[in-house]
Amino acid sequence: MSTPAIHTEQSLITNEPYYEPVADEVAVFTAAYRNKLPVLLKGPTGCGKTRFVEYMAWRLERPMITVACHDDLTASDLIGRYLVRGGETVWVDGPLTSAVRNGSICYLDEVVEARKDTSVVIHPLCDDRRLLPIEKLGEVLAAPPEFCLVISYNPGYQSVLKDLKQSTRQRFVALEFNYPSVEVEQTIIEKESGIDTTGARQLVKFGHMTRNLKGSGLDEGASTRLLVNAAKLMHEGIAPVVATDTAVAQALTDDEDMLKAVHELSRSIF
Amino acid sequence: MSDESRQNFLNRLRIQKDLEKFTAGALARHGNVEDIVARIAALERRDQDFVYAWVELIARSNHELAAHFIGRVASAFDKMERSGVEDWVDQAMTTFDNRGLGFAIEALENVDEFAREYASRHVRCGFDDASGFLRHFVRGLGGRELRVISDQSTFTDTESLYLPDVVNLYPEPEQNFTVYKLTAVHLWAQTWYGTWRYQVVEQLIRQFDDEQPMAIFNRLECLRLEACIARDFPGLSREFRLYGSVGEAGDALWEEWRRRASRLAERDASAADSLALIEDFRELPLPPLRPFEGDMFAGRVRQALFARIEREKSAFQRAMQELRDKDDRGEGGGDDAQKQLVEVEMHDEAGAGGEDVNFQLTIDGEVTSIPEHMKDLMGSIMQDFGEIPDDHLEPLERGEYSDALLPQKGDVDGDDDPDFNDAGSFSYREWDCVRQRFREGFCTLRELSVPPGDEGFVAATLDKHRGLLKSIKRSFEAVLGESRLQRRQSDGDDIDLDALVEAFADVAQGREMSEYLYTRYRNQERNIAVMFMVDMSGSTLGWVNDAEREALVLLCEALEMLGDRYAIFGFSGRTNKRCEVYRIKDFDESYSSAVRQRISGIRPKAYTRMGVAIRHLGQLLQHTQARTKLLITLSDGRPEDYGGYKGKYGIEDTRHALLELKQGGIHSFCVTIDNEAQEYLPHMYGPANFAVIDEVEKLPYKVADIYRRLTT
């Protein structure tokens, strides 16, 4: 049995992804999209950035391509390269080029991790020219109005060697993401995992307790994603304290005292 | 004889022979040798190996002692785990070394007593065992950051939790640990659920100044807090019930009190309600306190409370002023600005605690967002008052405000210190936030060297912290990282297939073939220079004592391993005319014995004028011409100097200096031991560029951490 490959043209999202709006981010994104402005999403991990882009892609009925950036990602990974196939050289589009050609939404996740030469590629796409020069083809692609570039990054504790330069960041409309409010977070956990209101409320309370510890030993408190994971385990019948230990505590830290503290905090509520 | 019993018999014979050999026959004199040997033969193999090893060891010192060991070791294993047995024989050997054979034999013979004491030591829960965990746990529960301190009495003063040195009431260590935890939770609950609200404390001290009312208040509050915890923390509540029995009579008394004080179990009950009930309980016998309940010292609370209220009120007013200033659209400022209507609304779902309270701040009807550090501050004020009192919302009086911004008194050149000479001094400007411009040449700074101290200090430190040093080095090793694969190199160990394929494609297209077709592993080249700026002021918290110097020594050892260029300078001074930096290690200096002597020679000096030190040390950092330049400040508090350099003025000048450095490409970071750093550090260094540590021993780890994040 072969695993189905996802062709980029077919990456249109047909089912509404669940997303709980926090403020007016939907309106802002839509306005930016209509004005052909690129968007920057800032915030800690697990706060809904990727889910938001999926939701917007569905809403705007455009296909979406996600690129997880890492420190070996070069410009040619994004733009494309020549491959040798059956004795012939064949050009293959990279995800960015593909997105430009199809008028998709291209989401570069954790863009500061990528190599520096990628920003050379991003810049002309982000000003009002919206051009993608492809050196090897001798082509310059003009992005259609449906194309949209979205990048994300986590501003906390950035390495000084990897930072978003002013010349890059000033081309974007920026939306800030953070942990949702108590009610919203509760709703998200309920809907994503199927557990009852009480359980969701207790998990949110637990999440807040871990966020109290940020800076005094934990780099980050529990993100919404981690709480949802714990909820899913609980829904399967795993005991709450075991669920929080495995889905949250062990994911957050390796320090013994801290692990014990998080464990006891969970025990205090459930 | 069956096969098995013959095997055992042979075993026992062999053991007896071995042991007699080791003890050169002394064992034979102990009578009942067969019994002893039988018991040893019955031990597990590992334990037998243990016995053998120790017998050999002891026998090297004394055969008689070894024989006594053999005689009692089986009993020891009966009563204790391996680690206990090891402790027992270890202790006996030490006694032998210090006090001779007789006492050592006695120690060995007292196996029973030792076992009992060992059990109690390992069953009990001590402050050292639990404090690390408790600090995190209490922090997680919520509210202001409380210190955890061991003390004779068990109580809280709302700044710290004072806990017993040890809890040893139960046979199992887990149980003792739980009671220890519950004790801390109970005290935390007092501060969280408003036992020590300002109004309550006032009334307590005014009206009820002797023992009996306090004792009644204590118990009533225990009941109220019991109900609060039952509502919010079902898990903890279960544990409180489990450990809350004080015998039949005691429990009955508690039940009686619970019944009479049912009002306190309601959601909106407060400490004031407990106060109101005191008179009703004067005639009743007092129920005994439960194992996790402690004392109350209203006087201590009052002290801490008043100090904190003052501090937080002015911090809050300063923060409000900043918000007002931001809001003020420059319409004539002055009196108009002071008439802004400020309202704080609270949405308090829980009724008693601070966590569910959402603040909404409106200035002249417009909702204003509240900065993070203010939220913590407001939470703390809430805990003390149950609300934000009106007088906190009043704008600072003209006089008070400008007091915080007093222009420098240092204009007066009254320094007739004969030691002071201008030669070799540097001149720096200072930022005056009141006038919004620089005071050129305002500061005079000299570079001094730290006089050498005792070099033995360094050797002693390295010896004392051998283990710690190893793990610190390991954390720094992680900074170095592994070698990375470099692609598209003109030369290397392997072929870069991607590059090769592209090159072929290029050739097929008629273009030139690239020569960058290889890969190789290379350690990432580091081109980093770090300046450590150590606050050497004489303030009470202070970096400069033994522990801090030790931390610096360990830090240097680890930095040497990294190979980055680094320098360490202290800074202090008195007024703008006598700013001083103290050279401990320069960039190009190697970590020589001279440097080591200087580290041990560090002594506290005077004040903390940070701006000028930052500007000067920033210059030194620029001269290194490294690609990445870091300034790490080790601080113990706010910038403060004689003559008006304090409050907002000091903070703004420091911030300006850091911004000047940033424009020059220098990244700054601050590590502090000041708990209140949240109030000013984010403003000076940026929200993600500082760290608070509570123990100086953690300094090298924290620096390793920072390093790793900033430079990989």
Per-position DSSP letters for B447-478, written without gaps between them: EEEPPP--THHHHHHHHHTHHHHHHHHHHHHH
pLDDT grade for A4, boundaries at 50, 70 and 90: low
- Residue in the block written with tokens 């690609």: B627
Structure tokens belonging to residue B287: 């129920």
B710 contact A CB<8A: yes
With cut-offs at 50, 70 and 90, classify the pLDDT of residue B400.
very low
Q: What six digits make up the tokens of A266?
A: 């969970």
Q: Are residues A209 and A136 in the same domain?
A: no
Show residues of chain B in contact with A268, CB under 8 Å: 141, 185, 233, 235-236
Arithmetic mean of pLDDT over chain B: 82
- Inter-chain touch B234–A270, beta carbons under 8 Å: yes
Asked if B504 reaches chain A (Cβ–Cβ under 8 Å), the answer is yes
A167 and A193 in a common domain: no
Q: Tell me whether residue A162 is exposed, middle or buried, using C-beta atoms within 10 angstroms of its C-beta: 0 to 12, 13 to 18, 19 or more.
A: middle
User: What is the distance between the alpha carbons of residues B191 and B39, in angstroms, rounded to a whole number?
Assistant: 57
| A10 confidence band (pLDDT: 50, 70, 90) | low
Question: Which residues on chain A are in Cβ contact (under 8 Å) with B132?
Answer: 257
At A82, which helix (H) or strand (E)? strand A80-85
Phi, psi of A176 (to 5 degrees): -100, 130
Q: Which of A72, A159, A213 sits opposite B140 (nearest CB)?
A: A213
3-state SS class at A74: coil
Q: Would you state the CATH architecture of domain B526-711?
A: 3-Layer(aba) Sandwich (3.40)
Tokens representing residue B700 in the block? 């090298």
| Contact list, A163 vs chain B (CB under 8 Å) | none
A165 interfacial to chain B (CB closer than 8 Å): no
Under the banding of pLDDT at 50, 70 and 90, the label for residue B212 is confident
β-strands A80-85, B565-573: how paired? unpaired
Cβ-defined contact of B235 to A267 (cutoff 8 Å): yes
Q: Which among B320, B309, B347, B55 has a CA at the least distance from the CA of B196?
A: B309
Q: Are A153 and A69 in contact (CB under 8 A)?
A: no
Does A204 contact B at CB distance below 8 Å? no
Better-predicted residue by pLDDT, B524 or B311: B311
**A217: distance to nearest CA of chain B, Å?**
8
Q: Determine whether the interchain pair A212/B712 forms a contact, defined as Cβ–Cβ distance below 8 Å.
A: no
For residue B504, list chain A residues with Cβ-Cβ distance below 8 A: 84, 89
Q: How many domains does chain A have?
A: 2
Mapped onto helix, strand or coil, the DSSP state of residue B650 is helix
B348 close to A (CB below 8 A): no
- Asked if A267 reaches chain B (Cβ–Cβ under 8 Å), the answer is yes
pLDDT of residue B626: 85
pLDDT at B328: 58
pLDDT at B248 over 80: yes
Looking up residue A102, the CATH number of its domain turns out to be 3.40.50.300
More confident residue, A194 or B704: A194
Q: Specify whether the CB–CB gap between B223 and B258 falls below 8 A.
A: yes
Task: Point out the domain boundary residue: A176, A196, A219.
Answer: A176
Nearest residue in chain B measured CA to CA from A217: B136
Q: What is the C-alpha end-to-end distance of chain B, expressed in Å?
A: 73
Domain boundary among A158, A176, A194: A176
In angstroms, the CA B118 to CA A117 distance is 65
Contact A217 B505 (CB under 8 A): no
- Integer angstrom CA distances of residue A263 from A62, A242, B313: 44, 9, 36
| Residue-level pLDDT at B404 | 38
Instruction: Identify whether residues A106 and A172 lie together within a single domain.
Output: yes
Q: pLDDT (tens digit, 9 = 90+) per residue, B613-632? A: 999 999 999 998 888 889 99
CA nearest to A263 within chain B: B137
State the DSSP code for B286: P
What is the pLDDT, as a whole number, of residue B673? 76
- Is residue A190's pLDDT more than 90? yes
Residue of B nearest to A222 (CA): B140
The yes-or-no verdict on residue B314 having pLDDT over 70 is yes
Q: Return the top range by mean pLDDT from B135-149, B258-272, B596-610.
A: B258-272
User: Which chain A residue is nearest to residue B662, measuring alpha carbons?
Assistant: A160
Taking contacts as CB-CB distances below 8 angstroms, the residues of chain B near A217 are 136
| pLDDT interval class at A160 (50, 70, 90) | low
Q: Do A269 and B145 touch (CB under 8 A)?
A: no
CB contact under 8 A, B502 and A81: yes
Q: How far apart, in whole angstroms, are the C-alpha atoms of residue B92 and residue B83? A: 14
Nearest-angstrom CA–CA distance, A85 and B648: 68
Residues in chain B: 712
Please check whether residue B337 touches A, CB under 8 A.
Answer: no
pLDDT of residue A227: 96
Which of B 223-252 lie inside 8 A of A, CB atoms?
A: 233-236
Q: How many residues does chain A have?
A: 270
Whether chain B has a CB inside 8 Å of the CB on A65: the answer is no
Contact residues on chain A for B136, CB-CB shorter than 8 A: 213, 216-217, 257-258, 260-262
Among chain B residues, the shortest Cα distance to A259 is held by: B133
Distance set, CA A126 to CA A168, A172, A177, B468 (Å) = 9, 7, 21, 50
pLDDT bucket at B663, cuts 50 / 70 / 90: confident
Q: In which element (H, E) is residue B649 found? A: helix B647-663
Q: Are A212 and B139 an interchain contact pair (Cβ–Cβ within 8 Å)?
A: yes
- Taking a C-beta distance cutoff of 8 angstroms, is the pair B582, B572 a contact? yes
Residues B377 and B315: their CA atoms lie apart, in Å, by 8
Location of structure tokens 């279960």? B238
Asked if A73 is an interface residue toward chain B (Cβ–Cβ < 8 A), one would say no
Which runs of consecutive H residues, i.e. helices, occur in B526-609? 546-562, 593-600
Q: Which residues of chain B are within 8 Å of residue A212 when distances are taken between CB atoms?
A: 139-142
Output the pLDDT for position A5.
Answer: 59
Q: Specify whether A32 is located in the same domain as A142.
A: yes
A146-162 average pLDDT score: 77
Domain boundaries, chain B: 3-123, 301-400, 482-523, 526-711
Q: Report how far residue B326's alpha carbon sits from residue A19's, in angstroms, rounded to the nearest whole number.
A: 34
CA distance A145 to B598: 66
| CB-nearest partner of A265 from B140, B487, B711 | B140
Q: In whole angstroms, what is the distance from residue B217 CA to residue B226 CA? A: 14
* Same domain membership, residue A89 and residue A13: yes
Kindly state the DSSP code that residue B671 receives in the 8-state scheme: E
The model's pLDDT over B410-439, given as tens digits with 9 standing for 90+, comes to 433 434 444 444 567 888 999 888 888 888
Q: What is the structure's pLDDT at B348?
A: 55
The reply to whether A13 falls in a domain is yes
| Interchain contact A214–B (C-beta under 8 A) | no
B587 DSSP 8-state letter: T
ipTM: 0.82
Which range among A4-13, A111-120, A252-261 shows the weakest confidence by mean pLDDT? A4-13
Same domain, A148 and A245: no
pLDDT band at B523 (very low <50, low <70, confident <90, very high): low
Which of A212, A257, A269 is facing B132, going by the closest CB pair?
A257
Examine the domain organization and report whether A142 and A204 are in the same domain. no
Average pLDDT of the segment spanning A227-253: 95
Q: Do A208 and B234 touch (CB under 8 A)?
A: no
Domain-embedded: residue A3: no
Note the pLDDT of residue B350: 44
Domain-embedded: residue A1: no
Q: Could you tell me if A172 and A186 lie in one domain?
A: no
Residue B163 phi/psi, 5-degree rounding, is: -120, 155
Find residues 505-524 of chain B whose CB sits inside 8 Å of chain A. Answer: 505-506, 508-509
Place of tokens 């300002």: B198
- Say if A27 falls within a structural domain: yes
| Residues A192 and A156 placed together within one structural domain of the fold | no
Q: What percent of chain B has pLDDT over 90?
A: 21
Q: Are residues A25 and A113 in the same domain?
A: yes
Q: Of A152, A176, A200, which closes a domain?
A: A176
Question: Which of B125, B139, B487, B519 is best to mutate for the A interface (most A CBs within 10 A)?
Answer: B139
Give me the pLDDT at residue B479, please: 64
Q: How far apart are CA B162 and CA B156, in angstroms?
A: 6
Distance (Å, rounded) from C-alpha A121 to C-alpha A124?
Answer: 7
Distance CA B394, CA B318 (A): 11
- φ/ψ of A41, rounded to 5, equals -110, 120
pLDDT exceeds cutoff 80 at B286:
yes
pLDDT above 70 for A2: no
Residue A149 has pLDDT above 90, yes or no: yes
* Among chain B residues, CA nearest to A73: B487
pLDDT at B331: 44
Range(s) of the domain holding residue A208: 182-269
- What integer is the mean pLDDT of B353-367? 66
| Contact residues on chain B for A82, CB-CB shorter than 8 A | 501-502, 505-506, 509
Question: How many whole angstroms separate alpha carbon B552 and alpha carbon B602?
Answer: 11
On whether residue A12 sits in a domain, the answer given is yes
d(CA A184, CA A192): 12
End-to-end CA distance of chain A: 45
Q: Is residue A54 part of a domain?
A: yes
Whether residue A217 is predicted with pLDDT greater than 80 in this model: the reply is no
CA distances, B664 to each of A19, B628, B690 (Å): 43, 11, 20
For residue A156, the model assigns a pLDDT of 65
Q: Is A1 an interface residue toward B (CB < 8 Å)? A: no
Predicted local confidence at residue B481, as pLDDT: 59
The model's confidence at residue A153, banded by pLDDT at 50, 70 and 90, is confident
> How far does B708 lie from chain A, in Å, by closest CA?
8
Give yes or no: residues A170 and A139 share one domain.
yes
pLDDT bucket at B354, cuts 50 / 70 / 90: very low
Global confidence as pTM: 0.68
Are A188 and A125 in the same domain? no
| Alpha-carbon B358 to chain mean position | 29
**Amino acid making up residue B395:** P
| 8 Å CB contact of B140 and A161 | no
Chain A residue at shortest CA distance from B178: A264
> Which of these ranges, A178-182, B83-87, B321-325, B515-519, has the smallest mean pLDDT?
B321-325
Say which residues have a Cβ less than 8 Å from residue A1's Cβ, sequence separation at least 6: none
Phi, psi of A67 (to 5 degrees): -120, 120
Per residue in B52-67, pLDDT (tens digit) is 999 988 888 888 889 8
For B349, nearest residue in chain A (alpha carbons): A182
Note the pLDDT tens digit of each residue in B6-25.
Answer: 777 778 888 888 888 888 88
Predicted local confidence at residue B478, as pLDDT:
67
A270 in contact with chain B, both atoms CB, cutoff 8 A: yes
> How far, in Å, CA of B331 to CA of B90, rounded?
80
DSSP string over B34-56: HHHHHHHHTS-HHHHHHHHHHHH
User: How near does any CA of chain A get to the CA of B304, in Å?
Assistant: 23
Residue B408 above 80 pLDDT? no
pLDDT surpasses 50 at A80: yes
Over the range B16-29, which residues count as b (16 or more CB within 10 Å of their CB) and which as e?
Answer: beebbebbeebbee
